[in-house]
């Protein structure tokens, strides 16, 4: 007696092997063979049915038959049937492009061949339009087509065998008839706007514009409309004045430029351009864009500032970049890791719950060189000269992995001109401490953070802080994680290059 066989689901292209078993009869010697119900020519001997690289045409009902021979020459037989279900991914039917008229009803249809049936979704360039489940034919209808519906439509089909299959299609519009073109041009020559022509003819705005532009392109003289346009207020002189004011002070408001046009008597109240017009010409004609300011301190414009910078740079020429150690402090509050930008639906505010106010301020002291961070510590509150001395007491004791000191004889420590670096004997004590280890001390010129590599370290540290989930609750841990991050060590050579030392 042949044991019951269960249905077999197999993905197309794979191998399938099914073994038929039976309870032995008398005599017990049993032979097996397989046949296919809808294919009389199929026969496979043996208890195991083997179908390598199975195809969808192999789906169907297979029968396993077991035989034994009686002593009188007759045969005893029994059989069981089994259905093999071949699964295959969706294939989307290809169809020619559709030619349609505006205002027509468009139905885009595609047949989908798959097993099991597919779930489909229709998309335009940005949005999901419709979803259909377990379908053989997918369709999407546009009730009243306009030229704004001219875009690529994507049909996405998926079933259990493969995640997604894409098919792109786009309707193509029939040419506007000659009579319609003449009517559009006639209305335009009568002085009507494109919007008015669109309403009167029922044609798409883009079609109306293209018809007029095509007419003008094919005629030597540009189409003369009956309506006269007002003289342009943003003359060449006004444009030059706007450009000069923005070049002189990039943060100046358009409202202030408009007032200056009146104050300098370049324009009168009758012909001064509006704030909106000034904003438009800045973007469209002068090619200005709104961006964050790079602030240059006024103090750097003093006569002796350039001499101080030259002295500083000439001093550093006595040292190799591998001998330079940069020191600086940064103030961090618990909300430093708060993110300022996010996403939300168009015209909707992006609202996120974050810690808003914090009375906890930390000071991070960092000393670094070309190979990474030499030493850092975190203080509760502000720093001072004594904290700075204590920091270098600890830093000078730091050693590399192989036991060599971080600070070697002949090295130099470079720091900014912060006030407490010089006060209360701080500078004298620090110079003596460093001199005992053969290390020099050099101060940067005032208001020149671009020469301090530690500023780059702090920038990356704040960026890495924003990736910390609990930065407001565990600010100190977030700072340590940022300064110990492996990416920081990789960036040090590029920081030295940015500051001009390599």
Q: How far apart are CA 255 and CA 260, in angstroms?
A: 9
Q: Which band of pLDDT confidence, cut at 50, 70 and 90, is reported for residue 219?
A: low
Backbone angles phi, psi at 139, to 5 degrees: -145, 150
Structure tokens at 227: 């309506």
* Mean pLDDT lowest among 21-25, 200-204, 251-255, 450-454: 200-204
Helices 275-284, 254-263: crossing angle, 10 deg rounding: 110
Is the same domain home to 265 and 156? no
* Mean pLDDT lowest among 13-17, 84-88, 163-167, 411-415: 163-167
* Mean pLDDT score, 248-266: 91
Question: In CATH, what number is assigned to the domain containing residue 53?
Answer: 2.60.40.10
Beta strands in 397-485 (DSSP E): 412-415, 440-443
User: Residue 128 domain-assigned?
Assistant: yes
Quick: pLDDT tens for 348-397: 777 766 655 455 588 999 999 999 999 999 998 888 888 899 999 999 99
User: Domain tally for the chain?
Assistant: 5
pLDDT winner (highest mean) among 213-227, 351-365, 448-462: 448-462
* Mean pLDDT score, 273-293: 89
Question: In CATH, what number is assigned to the domain containing residue 492?
Answer: 3.30.420.10
Give DSSP secondary structure letters for 53-96.
Answer: S--GGG-EEEEEEEEEE-TTS-EEEEEEEEEEEEEEEEEEPP-P
Q: What pairing do the DSSP bridges indicate for beta strands 48-51 and 16-19?
A: antiparallel
209 pLDDT above the threshold of 80: yes
Quick: pLDDT tens for 417-431: 888 888 768 888 999
Is the same domain home to 333 and 476? yes
End position of a domain, from candidates 121, 146, 173: 173
Backbone angles phi, psi at 288, to 5 degrees: -90, 145
Contact call for residues 99 and 173 (beta carbons, < 8 A) = yes
Mean pLDDT, the chain, whole residue set: 83
Structure tokens at 492: 């040090």
Check residue 377 and give its pLDDT: 92
> How much of the chain, in percent, has pLDDT values that exceed 70?
86
End position of a domain, from candidates 27, 62, 88: 88
264 pLDDT above the threshold of 50: yes
Is the same domain home to 141 and 278? no
Is the same domain home to 246 and 151? no
468 pLDDT above the threshold of 80: no
Q: How far apart are CA 19 and CA 110, in angstroms?
A: 41
pTM for the model stands at 0.44
Is the same domain home to 329 and 456? yes
Quick: pLDDT tens for 103-114: 677 788 888 888
Q: Which band of pLDDT confidence, cut at 50, 70 and 90, is reported for residue 432?
A: very high
Is the same domain home to 457 and 314? yes
User: Residue 14 domain-assigned?
Assistant: yes
End position of a domain, from candidates 142, 173, 204: 173
105: domain range?
93-173
User: Residue 291 domain-assigned?
Assistant: no
CA distances from 318 to 51, 82, 322, 323, 411 (A): 80, 88, 12, 10, 10
258 vs 197, residue with greater confidence: 258
* Mean pLDDT score, 197-213: 80
User: Residue 56 domain-assigned?
Assistant: yes
CA distances from 454 to 35, 396, 415, 449, 493 (A): 80, 18, 9, 9, 12
Length of the chain: 502
Backbone CA torsion sign across 297, 302, 303, 309: negative
Is the same domain home to 14 and 101? no
221 pLDDT above the threshold of 50: no
Question: In CATH, what number is assigned to the domain containing residue 256?
Answer: 1.10.10.10
pLDDT winner (highest mean) among 126-130, 225-229, 281-285, 297-301: 281-285
């Amino acid at each position: 007696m042949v044991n019951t066989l269960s249905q077999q689901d197999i993905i197309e292209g794979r191998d399938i092997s099914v073994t038929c078993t039976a309870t032995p009869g008398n005599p017990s010697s049993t032979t097996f063979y397989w046949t296919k119900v809808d294919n009389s020519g199929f026969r496979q001997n043996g208890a195991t049915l083997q179908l390598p690289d199975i195809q969808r045409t192999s789906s169907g009902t297979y029968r396993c038959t077991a035989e034994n021979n009686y002593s009188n020459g007759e045969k005893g037989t029994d059989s069981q049937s089994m259905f093999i279900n071949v699964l295959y991914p969706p294939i989307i039917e290809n169809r020619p492009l559709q030619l349609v008229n505006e205002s027509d009803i468009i139905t885009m249809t595609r047949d989908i061949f798959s097993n099991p049936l597919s779930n489909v979704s229709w998309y335009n360039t940005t949005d999901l339009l419709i979803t259909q489940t377990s379908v053989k034919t997918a369709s999407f209808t546009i009730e009243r087509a306009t030229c704004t519906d001219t875009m690529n439509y994507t049909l996405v089909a998926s079933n259990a065998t493969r995640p997604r299959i894409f098919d792109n299609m786009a309707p193509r519009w029939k040419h506007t008839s000659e009579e319609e073109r003449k009517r559009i041009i006639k209305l335009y020559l009568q002085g009507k706007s494109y919007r008015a022509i669109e309403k009167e003819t029922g044609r798409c705005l883009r079609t109306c514009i293209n018809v007029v532009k095509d007419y003008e392109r094919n005629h030597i003289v540009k189409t003369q409309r009956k309506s006269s346009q007002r003289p342009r207020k943003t003359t060449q002189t006004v444009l030059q004045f706007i450009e000069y004011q923005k070049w002189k002070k990039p943060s100046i408001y358009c409202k202030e430029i408009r007032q200056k046009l009146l104050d300098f008597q370049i324009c009168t109240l009758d012909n001064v351009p509006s704030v909106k017009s000034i904003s438009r010409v800045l973007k469209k004609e002068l090619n200005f864009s709104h961006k964050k300011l790079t602030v240059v301190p006024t103090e750097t414009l003093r006569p002796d500032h350039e001499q101080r910078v030259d002295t500083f740079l000439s001093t550093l020429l006595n040292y190799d970049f591998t001998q330079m150690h940069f020191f600086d402090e940064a103030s961090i509050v618990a909300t430093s890791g708060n993110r300022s930008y996010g996403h939300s639906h168009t015209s909707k505010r992006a609202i996120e719950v974050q810690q808003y106010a914090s009375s906890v301020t930390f000071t991070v002291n960092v000393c670094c060189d070309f190979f990474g961070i030499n030493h850092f510590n975190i203080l509760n509150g502000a720093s001072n000269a004594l904290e700075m001395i204590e920091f270098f007491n600890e830093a000078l004791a730091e050693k590399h992995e192989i036991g060599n000191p971080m600070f070697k004889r002949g090295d130099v420590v470079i720091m900014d001109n912060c006030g407490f670096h010089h006060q209360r004997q701080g500078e004298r004590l620090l110079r003596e401490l460093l001199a005992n280890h053969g290390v020099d001390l050099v101060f940067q010129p005032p208001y020149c953070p671009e020469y301090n590599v530690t500023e780059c370290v702090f920038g990356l540290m704040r960026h890495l802080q924003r990736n910390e989930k609990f930065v407001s609750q565990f600010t100190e841990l977030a700072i340590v994680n940022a300064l110990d991050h492996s990416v920081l060590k990789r960036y040090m050579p590029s920081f030295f290059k940015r500051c001009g030392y390599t």
